[in-house]
Amino acid sequence: MPKYVYRFHEGGKDQRDLLGGKGANLAEMTRIGLPVPPGFTITTEACRAYMRDGRVPPGLRVEVTTALREVEDTLGRRLGAPRDPLLVSVRSGGKYSMPGMMDTVLNVGLTDASVHGLANMSGDERFAWDSYRRLMQMFGATVLGVDARAFAEALEARKAAAGARSDVDLTADDLRGLVDDYRQIVSTTCGRDFPQDPREQLDLAIEAVFGSWNSERARLYRRRERISDDLGTAVSVVAMVFGNLGENSGTGVAFTRDPSTGDSGAYGDYLPHAQGEDVVAGIRNTLTLDDLRERDPGSYDELVVAMRRLETHYRDLCDIEFTIERGRLWLLQTRVGKRTAAAAFRVAVQLVDEHLITLDEALGRVTGEQLGRLLFPRFDRTADTPLLTRGLGASPGAAVGEIVLDNAQALTRTQAGAKVVLVRRETNPDDLAGMIVADGILTARGGKTSHAAVVARGMGRCAVVGAEALDVDEAHGEVRVDGVVLRPGDVVALDGTTGEVFRGDVPVVDSPVMRYVADGLDAGLQAAPDDEVRDVVHSVHRLLTHADSVRRLRVLANADTADDAHRARARGAEGIGLCRTEHQFLGERRHYVEQVVLADSDDERQSALAGLLPLQRADFTALLEAMDGLPTTIRLLDPPLHEFLPDLTDLSVRVALAEERGRVDEHDVRLLAAVRRIHEQNPMLGLRGVRLGLTVPGLFALQVRAIAEATVELRRAGRVPLPQIMVPLVGSVREMQLVRAETEGVLAEVAQRSGVRLEIPIGCMIELPRAALTAQRIATQADFFSFGTNDLTQTTWGFSRDDVEGAFFSDYLENGVLTISPFETLDADGVGALVRIGVERGRSARPDLHCGVCGEHGGDPESIHFFHQAGLDDVSCSPFRVPIARLEAGRAAVLVGEDTTT
């Protein structure tokens, strides 16, 4: 039989799996001699057995009896004894923190008899009755399943009868009466009396905590946080200590460093004559730790020593909960503390400088997501723009613009050059047009997985959702917020990170960290307004530099133009992993594409293509010049040709109306026939990529020639252009063979004519399941692989990104099919399985095959860790995300084998 109960002195901090975070840390603090009330922890294994069998596992009762007896012996008191009762708290706590999701019961052990003992012992009758009614309230609701409102109503009635404004105004007698009321409520609702056997209270409370693991809200929370339902919670049983036994008692929370700024030195809140829940309730204003020093220097000193001990021991910023009972300090909880992004970088570097951790470890303490937060522009908080309201920060960034209430307004105003914020009660797919042109999106309803939130994140658009104070009145064309009335044209500002909504224009300031990654350390330091921020920039610099030195993954950028390329290079990109050539066919060049499509003969088509040659050669020359000396991967044309032509429906309507009006445009009619001919039901799965190259003669040859001639031109000018040619949408080795033959032919011809040797690698995208599955063949014809995880996600899941994110991803995130969009973070189980298969089979044919990834996942932290583990050689992402990818690639290298999900 497994051991289900660990006394605090038996466990330790590495047993989070078994004892939960809280239990493991209580044990650790006990072990290193810090003042923790005696107690024990029942393991998660017991909880799992309870979930499996529907009852507490045999043997647990006896183990609890033994452990409880030890606690009783230590303190010289018995649980719920009438004269001098031991009281305990029964606390939930799983491996991962799930704040407020599971149950906890305090004051277990109080009965009609022992309440008198507590009054005696504490010398405070009011305190005893208040403790008892709190137990009945918590136990009644949590363990016995009484509707909490019944207790609240009885409390209100008592207050009214006593003329009390607040709970604290109730006297001992009032509270004794309230206990009578509660006793009545329990008997009536449950058909049984409130249990008077202390041990029965304890056993029922333990079982209730086990059960709370599977409450609806806990399950929902876990699904969202991607915590497995199978883990179970541990239960810690801790002797009660009381901060509400007079002015020399109190309770507080403290941090070993400031979690907001990262400043070193203890930091915290203290509330005298109070229990933990009073601090949380925020009824009274808290004091600072300095105040505590003045009031109780002994406890203060003891606390500071304990905190230093904890930080040295945990080698990280810790937060703690503590209680002082009549001048004696007790630590009730500790954990590695949450902190802001800025604090994370500063604290990590401070700990290195204090020789507590290594640089590798420091790198593990910060995340790309935190770095990302430091890169966004922020509103200038020194400006005194009034806060209008607050919602959920659903998609980060800062947006300022005129309010628009529908698509029509959004389009009209943006066409007139205005920046707009689309304000809706909630959004649905009809609102897409407006969302696309808006700078920001603001809704009154919905959470972080609502339609607005999902679509906005997908588009990288700033959004605040669920700002419930907003009353969006479309009928009257106005928005009301707490008495303020706003109309279209009024300006608002959204902070997509904090969820704040401001009225009027708020100046936006560049982030100094952004200045640093874009322009170097000096620029970043100069942009910092004070020493604190300068220290943030310094800390980022040290950790990013370290990440560069340890990472194995090369970080490249997705960049289509010379401008993009310069930006990427400045941010540390070591090359271009994906240059899309689509834009080279857009704008004024569309008419060449029209000519290609409308061509009646091969000659006509070739002459249209020839017209594009000098334009594209100039594009490539500029790009390759910008990337001088660094590899530059150019993808041959990917999208279907109809993307360069007018929309079928629009054109059909135009032609039908023109006919109706007797003003037929011959070009439109001809174009309509062509658009109809090449129209596809599912263009994502149609004539595009390599299929286009093999079907439209001369198309790929044109691109290859432009690349080759640009290379020759730069080589003659003494530069070092390093183009690589990448073929999209390959599904079969034969496609690669055919394109390779054509490409090598063009390269050889240009090389011969120019006398410049051209050794340009020819590789392909792996973005179809079939490419991954037959990678061992494709590798024989490809000099490198680049996983196109966007398309691979589309085909592996059968999701069209254009369609599904708006249509049902919000439902799918709500019902738990998805925990995050697979277009945001790589789906390791499905798409990732194909990536692994592709790498493995490809290298089985060509052991030195270079494999990279150029989907948007290349800039996503969790995905980068996956790619590192899957053995890829590089990731490519947008220039903006290059620093984030550098940091995460470094973290992936130092965290290998560790749990990287935090």
Q: Are the CB atoms for 599 and 677 separated by under 8 Å? A: no
Q: How far is the CB of 840 from a copy of itself (least distance, A)?
A: 13
Largest interatomic CA distance in the chain: 106
Sheet containing 328-336, strands listed edge to edge, beginning at the edge strand earlier in sequence: 287-288, 264-272, 250-257, 318-325, 328-336
827 binds a copy of itself (CB under 8 A): yes
Q: Is residue 683 at the binding interface for a copy of itself, with CB under 8 A as the rule?
A: yes
Rounded Cα gap, residues 785 and 835, in angstroms: 11
DSSP strand pairing (264-272 vs 287-288): antiparallel
CA distances from 233 to 43, 96, 138, 338 (A): 8, 9, 19, 21
Residue closer to a copy of itself, measured from CB, 569 or 635: 635
Nearest residue (CB) to a copy of itself, 587 versus 662: 662
| Separation of alpha carbons 872 and 889, rounded Å | 11
635 is in an annotated binding site: yes
Minimum CB distance to a copy of itself, residue 450 (Å): 15
Does 791 carry a binding-site annotation?
Answer: yes
Considering only the stretches 57-65, 552-560, 644-652, 850-858, report the one whose residues sit in contact with a copy of itself under the rule CB under 8 A: 644-652
Q: State the catalytic residues.
A: 451, 854
- For residue 740, the minimal CB distance to a copy of itself (Å) is 13
Which of 161, 657, 664, 896 touches a copy of itself by CB under 8 A?
Answer: 657
The set of long-range contacts for 286-292, using a CB threshold of 8 Å and a minimum separation of 24, is 286/252, 289/252, 289/254, 292/250, 292/252
With helix as H, strand as E and coil as C, how does 792-843 read? HHHHHHCCCHHHHHHHCHHHHHHCCCCCCCCCCCCCCCCHHHHHHHHHHHHH
* Strand 762-766 versus strand 470-473 pairing type: unpaired
Contacts of residue 496, defined as CB under 8 A and 6 or more positions apart, other chains included, come to: 393, 394, 395, 396, 397, 398, 399, 440, 456, 462, 463, 464
Our CB check for a copy of itself shows the closer of 405 and 479 to be: 405
Query: Which residue, 162 or 433, has its beta carbon nearer to a copy of itself?
Result: 433
Least spacing, CB of residue 221 vs a copy of itself, in Å: 16
Q: List the structure tokens of 53.
A: 């069998």
Helix (DSSP H) and strand (DSSP E) numbers for the chain? 37, 33
Binding to a copy of itself (CB under 8 A) within 778-807 occurs at: 791, 794-800, 802-804, 807
In sequence order, what are the residues at sequence separation of 6 or more whose Cβ sits closer than 8 angstroms to the Cβ of residue 23?
6, 11, 15, 41, 93, 234, 236
Q: Which is nearer to a copy of itself, 101 or 765 (CB)?
A: 765
Binding residue for a copy of itself (CB under 8 A) from 523, 684, 751, 756?
684
Instruction: With contacts defined by CB under 8 A, name the span among 17-25, 300-308, 522-530, 762-770 that binds a copy of itself.
Output: 762-770
Distance CA 742, CA 693 (A): 10
**Smaller CB distance to a copy of itself: residue 231 or 687?**
687
Q: Quote the least distance from Cβ 613 to a copy of itself, whole Å.
A: 24
Tell me which residues in 543-602 interact with a copy of itself (CB under 8 A): none
Minimum CB distance to a copy of itself, residue 817 (Å) = 5
CB nearer to a copy of itself: pick between 104 and 781: 781
Is the C-alpha dihedral spanning 397, 403, 408, 414 positive or negative? negative
Per CB under 8 A, the list member of 530, 677, 757, 899 interacting with a copy of itself is 677
* Chain residues 687-716 in contact with a copy of itself, contact rule CB under 8 A: 687, 691, 694-695
Contact stretch for a copy of itself (CB under 8 A) within 53-61, 119-127, 426-434, 525-533: 426-434
The set of residues, in sequence order, having a beta carbon less than 8 Å from that of 353 and lying 6+ positions away, is none
Q: Which residues in 829-858 contact a copy of itself (CB under 8 A)?
A: 829-831, 833-834
Q: How far is the CB of 672 from a copy of itself (least distance, A)?
A: 10
For residue 437, the minimal CB distance to a copy of itself (Å) is 17
789 is in an annotated binding site: yes
| Rounded Cα distance, 131 and 242, in Å | 10
| Cβ atoms of 884 and 878 closer than 8 Å | no
Query: Judged by CB, which is closer to a copy of itself: 350, or 795?
Result: 795
Q: Are 870 and 836 in contact (CB under 8 A)?
A: yes
Give the C-alpha separation, 620 to 854, whole Å: 19
Cβ at position 368, least distance to a copy of itself in Å: 26
Which of 20, 268, 769, 890 is the binder for a copy of itself (CB under 8 A)? 769
State which of positions 108-167 bind a copy of itself (CB under 8 A): none
**Stretch binding a copy of itself (CB under 8 A), from 47-55, 556-564, 626-634, 763-771:** 763-771
- 653 touches a copy of itself (CB under 8 A): yes
Please choose, out of 568-576, 607-615, 629-637, 765-773, the segment that lies near a copy of itself by the rule CB under 8 A: 765-773
- Determine if 808 is a binding residue for a copy of itself (CB under 8 A): yes
C-alpha distances in Å from residue 311, one per residue of 203, 264, 315: 36, 11, 5
Looking at 383, 648, 751, 845, which residue binds a copy of itself (CB under 8 A)?
Answer: 648
HSE value, Cβ hemisphere, 13 Å, CA-based, for 81: 12
Measured from the CB atom, is 340 or 407 closer to a copy of itself?
A: 407
Residue nearer to a copy of itself on the CB measure, 189 or 800: 800
For residues 59 and 75, give the distance between their C-alpha atoms in angstroms, rounded to a whole number. Answer: 25
Q: How far is the CB of 433 from a copy of itself (least distance, A)?
A: 10
In this chain, which of 611, 773, 825, 845 binds a copy of itself, going by CB under 8 A? 773
Token pair listed for 34: 């810090």
Residue 497 identity (one-letter amino acid): T
Dihedral sign of CA atoms 755, 756, 757, 758 in order: negative
β-bridge partners, 472: 479
Question: Per CB under 8 A, which of residues 722..751 are in contact with a copy of itself?
Answer: 729, 731-732, 734-735, 738
Question: Both ends of the chain: CA-CA distance in Å?
Answer: 32
Closest by CA to 91, choosing from 151, 23, 169, 181, is 23
φ and ψ of 255, to 5 deg = -120, 145
What does the block give as tokens for 297?
């220097």
List the binding residues: 580, 635, 767, 788-791
Please state the residue numbers annotated as binding site for substrate: 580, 635, 767, 788-791
**Binding positions for a copy of itself, rule: CB under 8 A:** 428-430, 648-649, 652-653, 656-657, 660-661, 673, 677-678, 680-687, 691, 694-695, 729, 731-732, 734-735, 738, 767-770, 773-774, 777, 791, 794-800, 802-804, 807-808, 811-812, 815-818, 827, 829-831, 833-834
Q: Give the residue numbers of the binding site for Mg(2+).
A: 767, 791
